[in-house]
Amino acid sequence: MFNPTAETMSRDELAKAQLDGLKTTLRRVWGNPFYRTRLEKAGIGSPEDVKSLDDLRRLPFLTKDDFREAYPLAMSCVPREELLEFHMSSGSTGTPVVMAYTKNDLNQWAECMARCFAMAGLSKGDAFQIMPTFGLFNGGFGCYHGCRKADLFCVPASSGNTERQIRLMRDFGVKGFCSVVSYVPRIIEKLDAEPGGPGDIPSLKVGIFGSETFSDEMRRRIENRLHIECFDIYGMTETGGIGTTGQDCKCHCGIQVFEDQYITEVINPATGEVLPDGEFGELVFTSLTREAMPIIRYRTHDVCRILSREKCNCGRTSLRIDRITGRTDDMLIVKGVNFYPRQVEQALMEIPGVKDEFQIILETKGGITEVTVNVEAEGGVTGHTVAKHLRERLGFLPKGDVFPVGALPRSEGKAKRVIKRNLD
């Protein structure tokens, strides 16, 4: 463990830390008109109205639209001169979401990332390769801050140039790396195509993947081919960046949320009602230690459930959530059947000979949506085989075709699995 004191707190100690953190956060945001207006509309007269963790349910939700309305820094709760850094989402679906950081915020981010690295079995001096880009996106810098905190040997490769990525891993004896999971098939393709037969990276032991959901079958494929252990890291711009909310440990029994840093709720996305542990719903986070731009009941749109609040076999005592199933706004509905892209991936990976690249194409005309699933596969796999299996697993029969390996478009970053077309 990186921080045994924080990571093994009792439930009573965590409850006290969360209530203290919640009160501190409310006092901090009360001086900001953007937050205060929303709290007052919800009937909160002052921060002192919240006296227990049960009172959290009285507070209003925060959404991505709030961040966009506050662009660039209307949500900042500190003077401008205390801000040291900022990152933001791409803004591909609207005004960008900005997250600014004080010195303490950067330290908190680094602390969370260092805990994640320790969970994955990385320790002082281990070489760690950072494949997310360095820039406005938070992935590269989050890994960098964590490497510095954990005393890892940082290989700041950034994204792209797969041949160079492989060379760096070999030359510097890299033990672990971080990337989006959809980039790993590009690494495997390059290794498989090396002269003399499929290549390997003997020093590599750990892969940490974030920003995308991926199936258990995809995890197994990567682990078996690269001879590594895969970890699912969790965090987003609004919570402070990659790794801020947690990761799975070596027990792989759920993502461990850093409860001394965040309160976790799962709600019914339609009603906002808090759901019991074990039920799937929308994840909601409240930050307890963030200074510049705290979040209060932030609706992530991620579909998940709380698995356990019991002590893990690794010794950590934080609650564990399931791996993310999908997003409430990414659910696809075709011919009355609801499903997520991850379910399509899981079904495809079950078919012998099907490879890692696939596309889900949705074409809508006259109010009717048709779905096409294109996949790459080895010779002998037919479109009929793929369609039949998807019908058995998903409940409807899609169109689709099978392509040779390398035929579908590739991306150096996050894969674009779903393509929507309006034919009207």
Exposed / middle / buried, residue 320 (Cβ in 10 Å: 0-12, 13-18, 19+):
buried
Ranges of each domain in the chain = 1-329, 332-422
Q: What is the pLDDT of residue 333?
A: 67
Q: What is the pLDDT of residue 422?
A: 79
Ramachandran class of 369: left when φ > 0, alpha when ψ lies in -120 to 50, beta otherwise:
beta
The pTM score is 0.82
Residue 19 has what DSSP assignment? H
Q: What is the pLDDT of residue 126?
A: 98
Q: What is the pLDDT of residue 340?
A: 73
* Mean pLDDT across 369-385: 84
Task: Choose which CATH entry (3.40.30.10, 3.40.710.10, 3.30.300.30, 3.40.50.300) describes domain 332-422.
Answer: 3.30.300.30
Q: What is the pLDDT of residue 396?
A: 72
pLDDT tens-digit readout, 2-30? 999 999 999 999 999 999 999 999 999 99
Q: Report the DSSP pairing between strands 298-304 and 306-308.
A: unpaired
* Mean pLDDT across 241-260: 96
Indicate the average pLDDT of the chain: 91
pLDDT tens-digit readout, 131-154? 998 999 999 999 999 999 999 999
Q: Which of 43-57, 115-129, 293-307, 403-417 has the lowest mean pLDDT?
A: 403-417
Six-digit token pair at 7? 């990571």
* Mean pLDDT across 291-310: 96
- Give the burial string for 89-121 (b: 16+ CB within 10 Å, else e): beeeeebbbbbbbbeebbebbbbbbbbbbbbbe
Task: Choose which CATH entry (3.40.50.12780, 3.90.1210.10, 3.40.50.10470, 3.40.50.720) describes domain 1-329.
Answer: 3.40.50.12780
Q: What's at 418, amino acid-wise?
A: V
Rounded-to-integer distance, Cα 114 and Cα 146, Å = 5
Most confident of 119-128, 212-221, 361-370: 119-128
- Residue 289 pLDDT more than 80? yes
Cα 230–chain centre separation: 14
Q: What is the pLDDT of residue 329?
A: 65
Q: What is the pLDDT of residue 304?
A: 94
Element at 125 (helix H, strand E): none
Please report, rounded to a whole number, the percentage of residues in the chain having pLDDT higher than 90: 66
Q: What is the pLDDT of residue 74?
A: 96
Exposed / middle / buried, residue 302 (Cβ in 10 Å: 0-12, 13-18, 19+):
buried
- Residue 367 pLDDT more than 70? no
